[in-house]
Amino acid sequence: MSKIDLNNISHSYNPNDLEPKYALNPFSMTWENGKRYAILGPSGCGKTTMLNIVSGLVRPSAGNILFDDKDVTDLKTESRNIAQVFQFPVIYNTMTVYENLAFPLKCRDFSKDKIEERVNSVADTLNLKSFLNSPARKLTADQKQLISLGRGLVREDVAAVLMDEPLTVIDPDLKFRLRRKLKEINEEFKTTLVYVTHDQNEAMTFADNIIVMSEGEVVQAGTPKELFERPNTTFVGYFIGSPAMNLFESELSSNNSVKINNTLVKTNTDLSSLKSKNIKLGIRSEFIKIAENQKENILNVDVEKVEDLGNYKLLTAKMGNLTIKSKINRETEVPSHNVKLHIPAEKCCVYGDNKLI
């Protein structure tokens, strides 16, 4: 396992053009040894490019990569001591499941006993023990992907395991169990795991740290809690969370307050130096509740619909032309009219030109 430093990395697939288009704009970050990371963003945002640069499949146009302070920028993939799992299964159809799992260890001259131990351990983790003697070609697509994942996990000495949407072909229940298993493997063996996905639920339930990308930019990196409660941009607020963060066009008022539809909302943000006229107030639906005894930050709304989603109710309301979503306790009775919602000042995020103040 290794600490991985990415220093001033950027990449263009047409670097010789007069105006090259960058798939990855300049960024720097460190992946700590033994942590779990998710690279999250929509299709085409640069997630796989970043992963392939770390693995050595792509050489960056600029910057350098260090594994435990050793520069590996010019090293080929096989010299970086990493394991990579791709979106679709990459296995040897002519081999049995056992032979597939054992192959990375045989190539590195591990002893027969060690190979036996590791293959059985990984097969047990991935529920493949009953298939060890079966030809790989006869398995289903999700079982083949488990083999591919197992080949990435069978070696304990790798610098990192890099996974590019590895659970795409696997059914939802098995996905959940595998993410839990990967976390257990990480906690037991302190293997550095990097997981690319476009699914925010996968990222939030798997990673210690999430790197959110948009159009080749790293727009925010942080813990799931940080990304949820304090998104750096309106894009992150909208992309993470279900439903997306409430974002209201606002006007600057006095005393660190803003107005939405002429309703004053106090915040805990210092807005004294804010110059932008493109102001938005952001707040998660989890933090908006039906008002009880509060006197400030009250929104008078009209109820549009209430959906019972099992463990909570989702209230959709209107205030003028604004739509407001609030998650409330499913036992709470919602009046059909004259509903007052409370917005806590400490949970408000204020954005100027779509960036957090």
Q: What is the pLDDT of residues 105-119, one digit of tens each?
A: 998 899 999 999 999
Q: What is the pLDDT of residue 333?
A: 87
Is the domain of 166 the same as that of 276? no
202 with 311, same domain: the answer is no
Overall number of domains in the chain: 2
Tell how strand 355-356 and strand 349-352 pair up. Answer: antiparallel
Specify whether 284 is located in the same domain as 195: no
Taking all residues of the chain, what is their mean pLDDT, rounded to a whole number? 92
What pLDDT sits at residue 74?
A: 95
Q: Is residue 239 part of a domain?
A: no
> Would you state the structure tokens that stand for residue 219, as one six-digit string?
């727009």
Tell me which of 178, 211, 234 is where a domain ends.
234
Residue type for position 242:
S
For residue 253, report the phi and psi dihedrals to the nearest 5 degrees. Answer: -120, -160
> Does 335 reside within a domain?
yes
Assess whether 50 and 167 both reside in one domain: yes
In a domain, 263, yes or no: yes
Residues 230 and 248 in one domain: no
User: Are 348 and 224 members of one domain?
Assistant: no
Residues 178, 122 share a domain: yes
Give residue for tokens 């790197």: 211
- Residue 20's domain comprises 4-234
- 103 and 123 part of one domain: yes
Report pLDDT for 189: 75
* Shared-domain flag, residues 323 and 179: no
Residue 193 pLDDT greater than 80, yes or no: yes
For tokens 């109710």, the residue is 313
- Render pLDDT for 219-236 as a digit per residue (tens, 0 to 9): 999 999 999 999 999 999
Does the CA dihedral 212-173-140-119 come out positive or negative? Answer: positive
DSSP 8-state code for residue 327: E
Last residue of one domain, picked from the residues 203, 234, 265: 234
CATH number at residue 291: 2.40.50.140
